[in-house]
Amino acid sequence: AQSVAQPEDQVNVAEGNPLTVKCTYSVSGNPYLFWYVQYPNRGLQFLLKYITGDNLVKGSYGFEAEFNKSQTSFHLKKPSALVSDSALYFCAVRGLTPSGTYKYIFGTGTRLKVLA
Amino acid sequence: EAGVAQSPRYKIIEKRQSVAFWCNPISGHATLYWYQQILGQGPKLLIQFQNNGVVDDSQLPKDRFSAERLKGVDSTLKIQPAKLEDSAVYLCASSPQPAGVPYNEQFFGPGTRLTVL
């Protein structure tokens, strides 16, 4: 069965420091991996995705993510955190279901808090 | 470009009542999704449309939930009758690519927060 795990409910980081939000996945076939961010009272916003090719994917707002096939991970990173990055981050995998459709499976989310 | 619109933004009802949510996707987007997001959890797909056809409704509780996208544009999601455990945020999303494309990102609306008392 397909699944996504975000092992940390919350990550705290000081402004200006690098941040990492962890994600591991399980999927049959090729993984299509995504990161979304959710600000209070707003819907999810797409940050970046991995389809194939380069393991380091760059996305919006200076975020990047590293795909590691052997560790089945897709960690979100940013070299220098901003207070405005404080939000809820969701990792998602899109895999093929037995019925032949592609379905998004979201993780439970990690709350990032950047401290000034 | 206008985003995904949803209404109402908030709804409070008593259990056993009915409720309906409306979604207007981004113009030209073929694929539309409804998700349920319970507090502290990630979004869970309820139903996926491509144009006006259902692609996946395997996780839709069909005894009480229904959804339609009659003209392949707007969509409504209905709950009848509501239960306490239906309290959640209901998110609508759309995507320009067909449902069979696995790597398409989704554009989400702001959601409707439902409270069932």
pLDDT of residue B98: 72
pLDDT of residue B40: 86
Task: Go through the domains of chain B in sequence order and give each one's CATH number.
Answer: 5-116 (2.60.40.10)
| Average pLDDT over every residue of B32-48 | 93
Q: Does the pLDDT of residue B1 top 70, yes or no?
A: no
| Average pLDDT over every residue of B111-117 | 96
Q: Does the pLDDT of residue A106 top 70, yes or no?
A: yes
Determine contact: A92 vs chain B, CB below 8 A.
yes
- Cα distance between residue A10 and residue B102, in whole Å: 29
Place of tokens 């194939």: A52
Place of tokens 């554009």: B107
Nearest CB among B41, B100, B107 relative to A102 is that of B100
Can you name the CATH fold of A3-115?
Answer: Immunoglobulin-like (2.60.40)
| Average pLDDT over every residue of A65-89 | 96
Chain centroid, CA A56 distance in Å: 13
Q: Do B106 and A45 touch (CB under 8 A)?
A: no
Structure-token pair, residue B40: 């502290």
Could you tell me the residue ranges of all domains in chain A? Answer: 3-115
Beta strands in chain A (DSSP E): 3-5, 10-14, 19-21, 24-26, 32-38, 44-50, 56-58, 64-68, 73-78, 87-96, 102-106, 110-115
Residue-wise pLDDT for B53-106, tens only, equals 898 898 999 999 999 998 889 999 999 999 999 999 999 999 987 767 777 889
Q: Is B5 helix (H, G, I), strand (E, B) or coil?
A: strand
pLDDT confidence tier of residue B46, bands split at 50, 70 and 90:
very high
Q: Does the pLDDT of residue B12 top 70, yes or no?
A: yes
pLDDT of residue B18: 97
pLDDT of residue A58: 95
Q: Do A102 and B105 touch (CB under 8 A)?
A: no
Q: Does the pLDDT of residue A42 top 90, yes or no?
A: no
Nearest CB among A32, A41, A90 relative to B102 is that of A32
- List Cα–Cα distances, B87 to A24, A107, B13, B14, B115, in angstroms: 29, 20, 10, 11, 5
The β-bridge partners of A67 are: A74
Lowest mean pLDDT segment, chosen from A68-82, B40-54, B89-103:
B89-103
Determine contact: A99 vs chain B, CB below 8 A.
yes
| Average pLDDT over every residue of A70-96 | 94
pLDDT of residue B110: 94
Annotate A5-21 with b (16+ C-beta within 10 A) or e (fewer). Answer: ebeeeebebeeeeebeb
Q: Does the pLDDT of residue A31 top 80, yes or no?
A: yes
pLDDT confidence tier of residue A43, bands split at 50, 70 and 90:
confident
